[in-house]
Structure 1
Amino acid sequence: MKSAQQRNPWTWVPSISFSQAVPYVAVMMLSTVMYKNLGISNTDLAFYTAWLYLPWVIKPLWSPLVELVGTKRRWIVLLQLLTGACLASVALTLHLPQFFAMSLAVLWLMAFSSATHDIASDGYYMLGLPSQGQQAAFVGVRSAFYKLAMIAGQGGIVYMAGELIKSSGDPAWAWSVVFGVMAALFLLLCAYHHFVLPRPDSDRGHAGGGALWTDFLNTFRSFFQKPGIAAILGFLLLYRLGEAQLLKMAAPFLLDPRDQGGLGLTTSQFGLVYGTIGVCALVLGGLAGGVVISRFGLKRALWPMVFIMHVPDLVFVYLATALPTDIVLISACLAVEQFGYGFGFAAFMLYMILVADGEHKTAHYAICTGFMALGMMLPGMVSGWIQDHLGYQQFFIWACISTLPAFFMTARVRIPIEFGKK
């Protein structure tokens, strides 16, 4: 087996990035569309699928295990095998009487597997690409293939499910086929990584676990002793308060029939306009946000980016009020909203890098992402209940009002004047 230095990173960096995104998309997006197709109410759909965020919230708690036990390479391969088995298990549960509870249990297991896989993969990149030059060179590759997996999942897979539903009239069968195909492809990806992933000499378990656990507790303590920690936590939790609710109800709104206040799109149309055009706009927004920050710095760019992220949420108020039928108009509205979300989210990601900077940057960044996920999970849990009581139009007005705390917290955070500027 070639060493990490000898094996071309192009043989494994793109495929691991792709494999990181697939289970996340399945858990957080495909499950929402699938349960909507299978007749689950918005209240139950939002509440139970929002709970699936929890593994990403608490993953810093078990991250030392990935350091203490075995190699990161072994973690990656075994967790991909587990994820493939979970995808197949979802396919097998959908025709059972208790399909909702049973499939949720499998998705819950897959969420824990995916969150742990993220820990192992992020660490493995730094070992498999030992020089900072290599790591920097492949940052864009990692992001591109992660986004490609999102487009394939939210766009291509959802479109495939819609076409199968159209031809068979059986949503459960259609989604069983979709998850079965995903399972087969993911298991092939697992087998590929088993043979192709390099074996860096530095990728090994650690001795002296007690000292590592002590260091881990000290790392947590130092995070919560950062200056201005209250403002930091408020920003992490509230920056996406409105977006967290809106995102959870976007799919039900687009799929619900017009007599129920939705736009009545087919599943295939949803895969095209939201999963493909929307995600492409999201990617472009993120790229544009990065360019703006590198040109002006995060401090100068933050307020415009907050506005550009949240003001386009108003397009959902327009869509819920006008209920347009023109697919081009609907696509344009969703592209505007998703571009703004990607643009503003770039500022949020860079702010987490600023907060994490220091002696324990890797662990502190993981803690930041945990609070970020918590800020998505809690509002998402109640979004379906709120929508069921308000209707779509009033719900989207409420979601826009919910963006106001983000502006309040933006005024509280402190950012060095030159941070992020190229």
Structure 2
Amino acid sequence: MEQAQRRNPWAWIPTLYFGQGIPYFAVLALSVVMYKNAGISNFDIAFYTSWLYLPWVIKPLWSPIVEMFGTKRLWTVVLQGVVGVALALVAFTTHLPGFFQLSLAILWLMAFASATHDIAADGFYMLSMSQKEQAAYVGVRSTFYRLANIAGQGGAVALAGVLIKRTGDPHLAWAVVFGLLGALFVLLCAYHFFVLPKPAADVQARLQGNPFEEFFGTFGSFFRRDGIAVILAFLLLFRLGESQLLKMAVPFLLDPVEKGGLGLDNTQLGVAYGTVGVIALTLGGLLGGVLIARFGLKRCLWPLTFAVHLPDLVFIYLSAYQPQDLLLVSAMIAVEQFGYGLGFTSYLMFMIMVADGPHKTAHYAICTGFMAMGMMLPQMASGAIQEYLGYHNFFIWACLSTIPAFAVTALVKIDPAFGRK
């Protein structure tokens, strides 16, 4: 902790979470656009790319290993190198026979490395900072995590759009994009090797007995905590509506007007959703972190719950009227994304609160595993639901699916002082 305090958090938190965001958005967002450009159906895109969430769902199964062997810093740096290589390998699949299957396989393996990196990086963050500092910087980490989204869904998608227009070959365009992302990630790996602090608390866990007993004891201590049923319900249901909307937003924006979409091209998508939208989301995340640090999670939870869900209504409007004014579309997406960024900070801090304790790295990983499950399962069905209902009715369904989030918010118990200590 002492060494971490001597290293300015601004020197490593922005790049650490920017790096954490690149493979996540490459796996779960860029893949959607890439496969849509390649002519893959909405059903196949939703079903198969949702399976890519699996490593984040089951990562708690090996999260104790990250605590038991090595330091969080070492795990973080090594896995960043692995992810950089995997990103480059995706580029080599784009012109191969069976591109869809091969690229999915590499993305799935990269997702395992990325999920493990998340365990180590989040543990490193919590070990390096006090609770109040964690609350103060939660908006910063969320901001730079989302800036990776701008680099991906904004810059990378727009670059792919330009290359597609110039070459007429979406496979070549995406090969260039993933190759550049791989090179960028290798550079981040090298930077973190030298810059990440070495907090005194970041040490290999000392085994008190049988390693298997330690391993399963870590899980047992999580599931024996008071109110665990409500905690799990909150983690699984808080994003039920948002998860479905998120998976179908890009296909909706890209599909032609006659199919119920808005007919944007990749460049317009990169501007409206990947740049303007993510900037709004980033600003919302920063404000959410400031509010929680100032007032505490308990006082902020209900306002931020409304903030994350009510703006979903803009997609009902967009699907009903299908406006062709890019400025209007961008503005409405900005409203939805600002609310999402603002409200999602409460979800992040809830997970930090639940994980607080002697096994915080593993327990936080368990929380994020349930978060990923709450995203994966609804998203797997979202493509089939959308194709059955059409875009407009699908977005009405997605908004109705937010009702359980308000129910579980009413049930959770929050320490009034949490986030302010």
C-alpha separation between the residues in 1 aligned to 2:342 and 2:134?
Answer: 24
Corresponding letter in the other structure for 2:88 = A
C-alpha separation between the residues in 2 aligned to 1:95 and 1:240?
Answer: 36
Equivalent in the alignment of 1:271: 270
Equivalent in the alignment of 1:79: 79
Please tell me whether residue 298 in structure 1 is matched to residue 297 in structure 2: yes
RMSD: 2.8
Displacement of 1:262 in angstroms is 0.6
Please tell me whether the aligned partners of residues 64 and 213 of structure 1 are also in contact (alpha carbons under 8 angstroms): no
Equivalent in the alignment of 2:153: 154
Equivalent in the alignment of 1:88: 88
Alignment of structure 1 residues 89-238 onto 2, 5 Å? 89-125=89-125, 129=128, 142-194=141-193, 205=204, 208=207, 211-238=210-237
Q: Which moved more, 1:78-87 or 1:328-337?
A: 78-87
Q: Deviations over 1:186-210 (max 9, x none)?
A: 2233344445556677766556485
Equivalent in the alignment of 1:410: 409
Please tell me whether residue 329 in structure 1 is matched to residue 321 in structure 2: no
Corresponding letter in the other structure for 1:338 = Q
C-alpha separation between the residues in 1 aligned to 2:316 and 2:109?
Answer: 36
Q: Deviations over 1:203-235 (max 9, x none)?
A: 665564854542332232222222222222111
Corresponding letter in the other structure for 2:413 = R
Please tell me whether the aligned partners of residues 135 and 419 of structure 2 are also in contact (alpha carbons under 8 angstroms): no
Corresponding letter in the other structure for 2:405 = A
Please tell me whether the aligned partners of residues 20 and 114 of structure 2 are also in contact (alpha carbons under 8 angstroms): yes
Pair 355,185 (structure 1): closer, same or farther in 2 beyond 3 Å: closer
Q: Deviations over 1:352-374 (max 9, x none)?
A: 23333344333322211111111
Q: Which moved more, 1:299-308 or 1:8-17?
A: 8-17
Alignment of structure 1 residues 277-292 onto 2, 5 Å? 277-292=276-291
Displacement of 1:178 in angstroms is 0.6
Corresponding letter in the other structure for 2:288 = G
Equivalent in the alignment of 2:248: 249
Q: TM-score, normalised by structure 1?
A: 0.90
Displacement of 1:115 in angstroms is 1.0
Alignment of structure 1 residues 334-349 onto 2, 5 Å? 334-349=333-348
Q: Which moved more, 1:291-300 or 1:301-310?
A: 291-300
Pair 141,388 (structure 1): closer, same or farther in 2 beyond 3 Å: closer
C-alpha separation between the residues in 2 aligned to 1:138 and 1:242?
Answer: 27
C-alpha separation between the residues in 2 aligned to 1:376 and 1:270?
Answer: 23
Corresponding letter in the other structure for 2:322 = L
Equivalent in the alignment of 1:308: 307
Displacement of 1:55 in angstroms is 1.2
C-alpha separation between the residues in 1 aligned to 2:384 and 2:216?
Answer: 38
Please tell me whether the aligned partners of residues 139 and 286 of structure 2 are also in contact (alpha carbons under 8 angstroms): no
Corresponding letter in the other structure for 1:116 = T
Please tell me whether the aligned partners of residues 68 and 209 of structure 1 are also in contact (alpha carbons under 8 angstroms): no
C-alpha separation between the residues in 2 aligned to 1:410 and 1:135?
Answer: 22
Please tell me whether the aligned partners of residues 135 and 420 of structure 2 are also in contact (alpha carbons under 8 angstroms): no
Please tell me whether residue 29 in structure 1 is matched to residue 25 in structure 2: no
Pair 49,304 (structure 1): closer, same or farther in 2 beyond 3 Å: same
Q: Deviations over 1:307-364 (max 9, x none)?
A: 2221211111111110000111101110111111122212222222333334433332
C-alpha separation between the residues in 2 aligned to 1:88 and 1:14?
Answer: 23
C-alpha separation between the residues in 1 aligned to 2:275 and 2:349?
Answer: 25
Displacement of 1:85 in angstroms is 1.6
SS in 2 for 1:325: coil
C-alpha separation between the residues in 2 aligned to 1:39 and 1:158?
Answer: 16
What percentage of residue pairs aligned between the two structures are identical? 65
Corresponding letter in the other structure for 1:249 = M
C-alpha separation between the residues in 2 aligned to 1:21 and 1:364?
Answer: 21
SS in 1 for 2:264: coil
Gaps of 5+ in 2: none
C-alpha separation between the residues in 2 aligned to 1:335 and 1:264?
Answer: 18
Equivalent in the alignment of 2:359: 360
SS in 2 for 1:307: helix
Q: Deviations over 1:108-134 (max 9, x none)?
A: 01111111112222344566x588898
Gaps of 5+ in 1: none
Please tell me whether the aligned partners of residues 139 and 285 of structure 2 are also in contact (alpha carbons under 8 angstroms): no
C-alpha separation between the residues in 1 aligned to 2:195 and 2:14?
Answer: 12
C-alpha separation between the residues in 2 aligned to 1:382 and 1:45?
Answer: 11
Equivalent in the alignment of 1:45: 45
Pair 252,366 (structure 1): closer, same or farther in 2 beyond 3 Å: same
Pair 315,203 (structure 1): closer, same or farther in 2 beyond 3 Å: closer
Equivalent in the alignment of 1:59: 59
C-alpha separation between the residues in 1 aligned to 2:266 and 2:192?
Answer: 33
Pair 420,15 (structure 1): closer, same or farther in 2 beyond 3 Å: closer
Equivalent in the alignment of 1:260: 259
Please tell me whether the aligned partners of residues 237 and 371 of structure 1 are also in contact (alpha carbons under 8 angstroms): yes
Please tell me whether the aligned partners of residues 64 and 212 of structure 1 are also in contact (alpha carbons under 8 angstroms): no
Pair 214,297 (structure 1): closer, same or farther in 2 beyond 3 Å: same
Pair 317,142 (structure 1): closer, same or farther in 2 beyond 3 Å: closer
Displacement of 1:305 in angstroms is 2.5
Pair 11,337 (structure 1): closer, same or farther in 2 beyond 3 Å: closer
Count of residue correspondences: 419
